[in-house]
Amino acid sequence: MAWRFQGKVQLGGLLLSLLGWVCSCVTTALPQWKTQSLELNEMETQMMGLWEVCVNQEEVAFVCKAFDSFLSLPQELQVSRILMVTSNGLGLLGLLLSGLGSECFQLHKIRGVFKNWFCLLGGILEASASVTTLFPVSWVAHITIRDFMDDSIPEIVPRWEFGDALYLGWAAGIFLALGGLFLIFSASLGKIVSSLWMASPSVSPSSDAVDDSAVSFHLKPGPRTLMI
């Protein structure tokens, strides 16, 4: 029963990790990290992401232009690009390792304690992917709030606001964190069950059981009676 419960926990961790990894990849690719609307032209919205800047003109066009140089990016976007790519790699590697260590994947050469170690390592990688997702998203949000509340900038100057990618990035970080915790818990549960199984006394054959050869009887002919 415990192993079946462990399998359910592993499956939940894998699904949460997969959902978080997909959301993290989409967050990395989306250009809506920052949005800006011009008061003079409300039909036009500017967006800035990790890879490109886009202009959305309602019912007209959606135009994007990639950044010419990595060094031309603001510091928070430079670090965010590196961390988000790292997060995608860690999340994918964690999914592969935890998948090998789950009960859903059965391989003759991977059993017992090795599956628990794979699941534990996968959970740690998913938790690390969560950190490397939440940190850049939160940092960009902090810089956006700081610039928006800066009194030294004239009010007539347009200011950047939160984009949809930030909210998706926060959701991805939460899913990755929950998935990693579930996987780590399932690996710990597997170690407990394994230790209890090894500590349980082996069933010895009953002393009442006797070998068939020991209970074999040899009938000896009785003494013949003399008939007089």
Q: Which CATH number characterizes residue 27's domain?
A: 1.20.140.150
Domain-located, residue 59: no
What ranges make up the beta strands (E) of 22-143? 34-37, 44-48, 52-57, 61-66
Domain-located, residue 40: no
Domain-located, residue 122: yes
| pLDDT at residue 111, as a whole number | 60
Domain-located, residue 6: yes
Residue 76 burial class via C-beta count within 10 angstroms: exposed 0-12, middle 13-18, buried 19 and up: middle
pLDDT tens readout for residues 135-194: 999 999 999 999 888 777 777 777 888 999 999 999 999 999 999 999 998 887 765 544
DSSP letter, residue 226: P
Domain-located, residue 99: yes
Q: How far is CA 185 from CA 105, 106, 190, in A?
A: 18, 20, 9
Domain extent, residue 170, equals 2-32+73-197
Angle between helices 113-148 and 164-199 (to 10 degrees): 160
| pLDDT at residue 197, as a whole number | 42
Please give the Cα distance from 5 to 225 (Å, whole number). Answer: 76
- Backbone angles phi and psi of 46, in degrees to 5: -100, 140
DSSP letter, residue 178: H
Domain-located, residue 27: yes
Low-confidence ranges of the chain (pLDDT < 50): 1-2, 193-194, 196-198, 200-220, 225-228
Show the tokens assigned to 69. 């140089």
Please give the Cα distance from 221 to 46 (Å, whole number). Answer: 112
pTM comes to: 0.77
The number of folded domains in the chain is 1
Show the tokens assigned to 74. 């603001």
Domain-located, residue 78: yes
The CA-based diameter of the chain, rounded to the nearest angstrom, is 144
Domain-located, residue 53: no
Q: Within 13 Å of residue 40, how many CA atoms lie on the same side as its CB?
A: 3
| pLDDT at residue 226, as a whole number | 42
